Amino acid sequence: MKKQFVAWLLAICLVAGTGGFSAYAEGENESGSKPLEDIFYQTVIFPFNYQGKVFIDGYKATMYEKYEVVQRKGRVLVPIRLMGYLASQSVKPGEGTWDVVWNPKTPDVVLINNSAKGRSIKFTVNSKTMLVNKKPVELEVPPQKINGRVVLPLRDAAVALEKQINWLDGLILIGDTPLDVKHARTLSIKDAVKAELADSRKPVDYEKTLTPIAKNGSSIYYYKRSYDNNKITDELYRKADGQKAKKVAVPGNPSFSFTKTLGDELYFVSVVKDSTELYAYSFTKNQFRKVSSLGSWNPSDGWLSDIRLIDGELYVNLHTGDNTIGSDTLYRVEKGSLKEVLRAKSLIQFVKSGKALYYTDFKFMGDPTNNLYRMDMATGQEAPLGEPGFTYGIHRTISDGGGVGYQYDGTLHLKDGYLYTLGYKEEDAKDQSAVYKISLADQTQVKLTSPARNFWVKDDRIYFIDAQTGFLVQTDLNGENREVVSKKAVFQVSFHDGFIYYLVNDGSAPSEMGVLYRYDIKLAKEVKLSDLITASYHVDGGSDVYYVARGYKPGVYKVDRNGRNVPLVRDNVSWTLGADKGIVYTLEYKEGVYTAK
């Protein structure tokens, strides 16, 4: 909801009037202007004939609040509440936040401040002078009180906030880059943008939201969640191709917030007669079996973090408490009950070899160092691995201002008596995370790579994302024979049948979105797959590639064998689930669970 409000605010801020004004904000011209196709994901777009939809960061948001936008002398004014939402949000990373100050004792005065930019704006009702950093700036239309609300002139407010205002055939846009309204790549997407914003449908009510959790054969399994007197109820449904969905009778009161499919079975937690139990549901037999009691642990205590089958034994990681002061406990299932294996502040990763278990623990509330361990599962004894003072399994970033950020890396690889993991020396603020090779025999370690953000070990090669460039790089297991796989900033990397898939963001889209690429390991060849910016992708068991697009051409697309992008679904996708064949999805404005192949 907060993001939606921001979208509406920013969009409203775009408004410069109903027509008859320059396509650019005052002081700007076409020098440096760009086509809309290039800056779409950096621009807020709002139709003057507002239907409740706006684009922000390429996402089409639906607004629910009713606000009266007023015109005076060819200018548009917006209520202070809307401007408050806008002013209190971060404009861009590094640009600080806009904070609104409104005192009911002086109801005719509005202050908007951004300490990072060193900028403050003061508006006064019925005054044609606003103060920008205490310097007077003349307004064409003063702020006013209408129907008991203070409304502010959007054009002047946007200028005060140092934004570009553009008008394009009934579309109002705001951003940091001037728009080339006559460019062919502006006109080519204009109608598609307008059509999306003319959509008057309402999103599916949250009480009718369906969440897919598995697909087996031709059947989709999903759950519906309901709330009654603070009680949460999850109901499981099965829908086969061409048939109506059928409710599956589940023992007790299940929770499907976390599920895990292992082979033919779906694992989940259920509370049966005040006892919390781990269950498995067989897709082929349509039967449930109790796997284990979970003792005194209850879903209200935390959450189920992981379930794994290793060497024929089932391991369960239960989290207790919240993210800050909580902790993880790893168990092994023995004869229908849990046997504790280890406890960790936050279990990053664990691997097993024979009777030894190796794991990394992120102790973010204390000293994070010396967090790589070896446990003898026969005796329960454990000892730290690696060099003292090192932190493992974490990519650390230190900003110029001294702020520290941490990101988990889930790779912990065992091979030929060596353990491969990320590591850095904690006390050295200049030391950056890199891939290390640690000998299990004498605990000596060797640094194999340049600064790395994530890494993978595949077929005796180490692949990693260079922390400085974002490039995908490969080396051998000794850190030698280094080669750059892709000279692009990559993320969402995955490996399938001799190919590497990844997204690339050149800065024109939000950080979580990008263009899909594929790299052929054998041929050392990179190919662009998606025509559109994508939010997510899926490669199924047959190596068919699907991706989800947002923006003005939303939907599910399939990349065929000739590289063509074939639209399978042309609508706003809400949720996706990868399947062995095809992709499962739900829609934002239409109830149901669907498949595409």
Helix residue ranges, H only, 34-94 = 36-39, 80-87
Structure tokens that stand for 56 in this block: 């922000």
pLDDT digits (tens, 9 = 90+) for 524-533: 999 999 999 9
Helix, strand or coil, per DSSP, at residue 265? strand
pLDDT digits (tens, 9 = 90+) for 556-591: 999 998 999 999 999 999 999 999 999 999 999 999
Q: How confident is the model at residue 85 (pLDDT cuts 50, 70, 90)?
A: low
Q: What's the half-sphere exposure (Cβ side, CA atoms, 13 Å) at 439? A: 7
Query: Whose CA is closest to 26, among 169, 204, 116, 158?
Result: 158
pLDDT digits (tens, 9 = 90+) for 91-108: 566 677 777 788 889 989
Query: Whose CA is closest to 17, among 82, 99, 73, 94?
Result: 73
Q: What's the half-sphere exposure (Cβ side, CA atoms, 13 Å) at 492? A: 20
Q: Please name the residue that has the structure tokens 């279990």.
A: 347
What strands, in cross-sheet order, belong to the sheet with 171-175? 59-62, 53-56, 44-47, 171-175, 164-168
Is the pLDDT assigned to residue 22 strictly greater than 90?
no
Chain centroid offset of residue 507 CA: 16
Q: How confident is the model at residue 4 (pLDDT cuts 50, 70, 90)?
A: very low
Q: Please name the residue that has the structure tokens 């454990």.
A: 382
Q: With contact defined as beta carbons under 8 Å apart, do 219 and 283 qualify?
A: yes
Helix, strand or coil, per DSSP, at residue 195? helix
Instruction: Give, in order, the Cα–Cα distances in Å from 51 to each of 48, 54, 60, 249, 573.
Output: 9, 9, 12, 42, 20
Read off the pLDDT of each residue in 443-458 and give the average, rounded to a whole number: 96
Whole-number pLDDT of residue 365: 81
Q: Who wins on pLDDT, 549 or 323?
A: 549
203 class by beta-carbon count within 10 Å (0-12 exposed, 13-18 middle, 19+ buried): middle
CA–CA separation, 197 vs 554, rounded Å?
Answer: 12
